[in-house]
Copies of this chain bind each other. A is one copy, B any other.
Amino acid sequence: MSVAQTLFGAAKMQAKDKSRTLTSEQLYLIDAYWRATNYLSVGQIYLSNNPLLKRPLELSDIKVMLLGHWGTTPGQNFIYVHLNRVIKQHDLNMIYVSGPGHGGPAVLANTYLEGSYSEIYPDISQDEAGLQKLFLQFSFPGGIPSHASPECPGSIHEGGELGYSLSHAFGAAFDNPDLIVACVVGDGEAETGPLATAWHSNKFLSPATDGAVLPILHLNGYKIANPTILARIAKDELTQLMRGYGWTPIFVEGDEPTLMHQAMAAALDEAVQLIKKFQQNARENSDLNRPAWPMIILNSPKGWTGPKEVDGYKIEGTFRAHQVPISAPVNHPGHLALLSDWLSSYRPQELFDECGCLLPEIAALAPTGERRMGANPHANGGLLLQDLKMPDYRDYACEVTTPGVRGVGDTRVLAPFLRDVTKLNDKAQNFRVFGPDETISNGLAALFETTRRQWNVTTNANDEYLAASGRVVEMLSEHQCEGWLEGYLLTGRHGLFNCYEAFIHIIDSMFNQHAKWLKVSSALSWRPKIASLNYLLASHVWRQDHNGFTHQDPGFIDVVVNKKAEIVRVYLPPDANCLLSVMDHCLRSRHYVNVVIAGKHPAPQWLTMEEAEKHCAQGIGIWHWAGNLSHDAIEQTPDVVMACCGDVPTLETLAAVSILREYLPTLKVRVVNVVDLMRLQPETEHPHGLNCQDFDALFTTDKPVIFAFHAYPSLIHQLTYRRTNHHNIHVRGYKEEGTITTAFDMTVLNEIDRFHLVIDALERLPQTGAKGIELKQLLHEKLIAHKKYINKNGLDMPEIRDWRWTSSV
């Protein structure tokens, strides 16, 4: 870090007198621009009419419902305007992430003034009529919310749920060496866990091959009703905290606009200079050590420039500035005058011409074309998205000479395919695999034949696969993995998140928000589709032989299916060839969330690649070879349907079928396997849903169906309750029974094992008579024998371990 430190020293010395960074003309113009943004922000919250205050403000000019958030807005306006200046000055390629919850008025005001808003929404024109519409639509029913929502140009991050801005910013910066992501971090959101660890993202950034993130911690002082921690600890503590996180903090503090403009301009010049020097040093001198990147701490009053006091309460600089500071002009005669004074304090007549256009000398402060942060294509990733170069997944098939051959672990078969996806796109640098330290554990070690884990902290002799740049990024934070990947996708790249199944619940809420973003953005024609968010959930519920109960939760898909059907897809490939086919499909898809659940342990393989392709294309199908009906089985009526979804349930179902076929050879058994879970829903509910006829053809209209499911059984009922034969569908799945034990014993604890499945079938097949009763008795004895054996030996009985599928039982 010595070079970096030297550079930092040099930068410090070069810094001009910080109170004179701007000429007085620049100062006037930047302040004028800021006033214009503030004026527009207040206008959005309050005005339904008289947008330029051409005549005295009247009660009838005020909106009926006063909604919106003022508190963070002036500070964000200040930042945006100053970023505009440095973008122009240094010709920067920069995007803006608005972290604080409710920066809507600010990003709307700024994108409107720079012109990017009106280009997308010509109706909201840059004139008085447009201004009025801009004001009206804000926080209006069905209109524009008070966050930087998808509807807002330049946004890749919505501020509704807090904590992910910095992770998104880093995701955007990966593999974009020329990009600077300016990320405003609210001091409220800074208290969240995800944000608190996101500061460490700098340990995963390459100064050579990635871009930069410039965090601007906005010490606004308050949340909704409480002060914020970071605004109240001693400055020395905050400085140490940021240095401890590895950043170089630059403070901008105060409330006097003139001084603050000079300080902010100087701080941004210093920050940009440092970023450029660090990058230059890395790129020209191959010094890949982690620099102490600059970050800015902007300490300014909440609701800055707003009313100082209303009804005897201090507003500016307190939590009371959070939403609408002057809340009821209708009921309080004095409020109208207060509001009028507030609006007038920005002197709109000095800012806008008669038509409502920002005066050209002020407007000139903003950059033009794609340098405008509202028009930067990186913030509209679909514009930049390139198809991945894909190897032929069939080339990675495992040979299945006969169903039931032992595999090496499904994800281990997938890994070379992912390795080659990585390799083929190495030049494009647009594919990454994220995970919380589980990439090898999840069976994907083959990736390290072609790439490394990106890591920019010290390395030791015994470390493995670390490098300054690499396609794999691993940090023990599911939040970070998710946030980085989202940022990476939203800026037009591709990726995969591999995770233990149970712990993906950690990011339930982030998934929710991303799915909502995809839903809203898919309705915006100016936002082309982005790559899908792909989850590979390995180390799943049924195989926690050495972890146990805490690692068992297959409920993420229950959260997923609640989201819009157009967005979500869930796949449970039963074997490696199906996994290859599914993953190929997912990586090519757009604007979905794909959840793929797969095993990593050696397990039986069922389908040849050709069969797997066909099966996955259908998403659901009869496995004729596994049942004992002839090949045109759909024409024949089985006595029982044995259905399965997921690798372990498929194994247990086939084992159950082999028992049925051996002991009751005349019983007509059909096996149905489900890869694409959403095929089970009616076509009216999900685009992948089967129509009634096809569903009935598979599951019959009146025969018992024994359904072995990977996850919680109720989900199958939830998806199939409208089906004709639903009352005959008996589902087994995970029912929160588990401990540290063998894979087979896990199935017994949850009664999804082969013996229980056969017993379930027999109980619904009275026609099996005495033979059936005899078999049931035998299986109950087997279950007892199993318990005895495992309690004594800690292993499954040999007949379980040695069981092999033979098609001719």
State whether A227 and B463 are in contact (beta carbons under 8 Å apart), knowing that A200-B191, A512-B555 are contacts in the complex: yes
Chain A 779-809 interface mask (CB, 8 Å, partner B; 1/0): 0000000000011011100000000000000
Contact in complex: A474, B226 (CB < 8 Å) = yes
Contact in complex: A794, B140 (CB < 8 Å) = yes
A175 at the interface (CB under 8 A from B): no
Contact in complex: A142, B741 (CB < 8 Å) = yes
State whether A512 and B520 are in contact (beta carbons under 8 Å apart), knowing that A546-B146, A549-B145 are contacts in the complex: no
A245 at the interface (CB under 8 A from B): yes
A177 at the interface (CB under 8 A from B): no
Q: Considering the complex, give the chain B residue whose CB is closest to the CB of A463.
A: B227
Question: Contacts of A241 on B, CB cut-off 8 Å?
Answer: 240-241, 244-245
Q: Considering the complex, give the chain B residue whose CB is closest to the CB of A457.
A: B232
Question: Contacts of A564 on B, CB cut-off 8 Å?
Answer: 736
Question: Contacts of A342 on B, CB cut-off 8 Å?
Answer: none
A188 at the interface (CB under 8 A from B): yes
State whether A203 and B229 are in contact (beta carbons under 8 Å apart), knowing that A145-B548, A736-B519, A794-B141 are contacts in the complex: yes
State whether A740 and B197 are in contact (beta carbons under 8 Å apart), knowing that A240-B241, A438-B224 are contacts in the complex: no
CA distance A30 to B485 in the complex (A): 48
A287 at the interface (CB under 8 A from B): no
User: Which of A311-319, A329-337, A689-697 contacts its partner?
Assistant: A311-319
Question: Contacts of A739 on B, CB cut-off 8 Å?
Answer: 141-143, 145
State whether A453 and B243 are in contact (beta carbons under 8 Å apart), knowing that A193-B197, A506-B161, A555-B559 are contacts in the complex: no
A562 at the interface (CB under 8 A from B): yes
A450 at the interface (CB under 8 A from B): no
Chain A 545-580 interface mask (CB, 8 Å, partner B; 1/0): 111111101010011011110000000000000000
Chain A 53-94 interface mask (CB, 8 Å, partner B; 1/0): 000000000011101100000000000000000000000000
Chain B nearest CB from A613 CB (Å) reads: 31
A6 at the interface (CB under 8 A from B): no
Contact in complex: B161, A550 (CB < 8 Å) = yes
Question: Contacts of A198 on B, CB cut-off 8 Å?
Answer: 193
CA distance A790 to B745 in the complex (A): 59
Contact in complex: A141, B790 (CB < 8 Å) = yes
Question: Contacts of A715 on B, CB cut-off 8 Å?
Answer: 718
Question: Contacts of A506 on B, CB cut-off 8 Å?
Answer: 161, 508-509
CA distance A196 to B224 in the complex (A): 22
A162 at the interface (CB under 8 A from B): yes
CA distance A146 to B191 in the complex (A): 32
Contact in complex: A192, B476 (CB < 8 Å) = yes
Contact in complex: B550, A516 (CB < 8 Å) = yes
Question: Contacts of A455 on B, CB cut-off 8 Å?
Answer: 226-227
Select A244's contact among B203, B238, B441, B460, beta carbons within 8 Å: B238
Q: Other than the known A64-B794, A193-B477, what 19 A-B pairs have Cβ atoms closer than 8 Å?
A: A64-B793, A141-B791, A145-B550, A158-B550, A163-B193, A191-B197, A191-B200, A192-B476, A203-B229, A225-B437, A225-B439, A226-B455, A227-B463, A237-B243, A240-B241, A242-B244, A243-B244, A319-B463, A506-B509
A sample of 27 cross-chain residue pairs with beta-carbon separation below 8 angstroms, ordered by A number, consists of: A1-B234, A67-B546, A139-B546, A141-B739, A145-B548, A160-B547, A161-B506, A189-B476, A191-B197, A192-B197, A192-B476, A193-B194, A193-B479, A196-B197, A196-B200, A224-B438, A224-B440, A225-B440, A226-B453, A226-B455, A319-B463, A319-B464, A502-B509, A502-B512, A505-B512, A559-B559, A718-B718
4 A-B pairs closest in CB distance = A160-B550, A241-B244, A193-B193, A196-B197
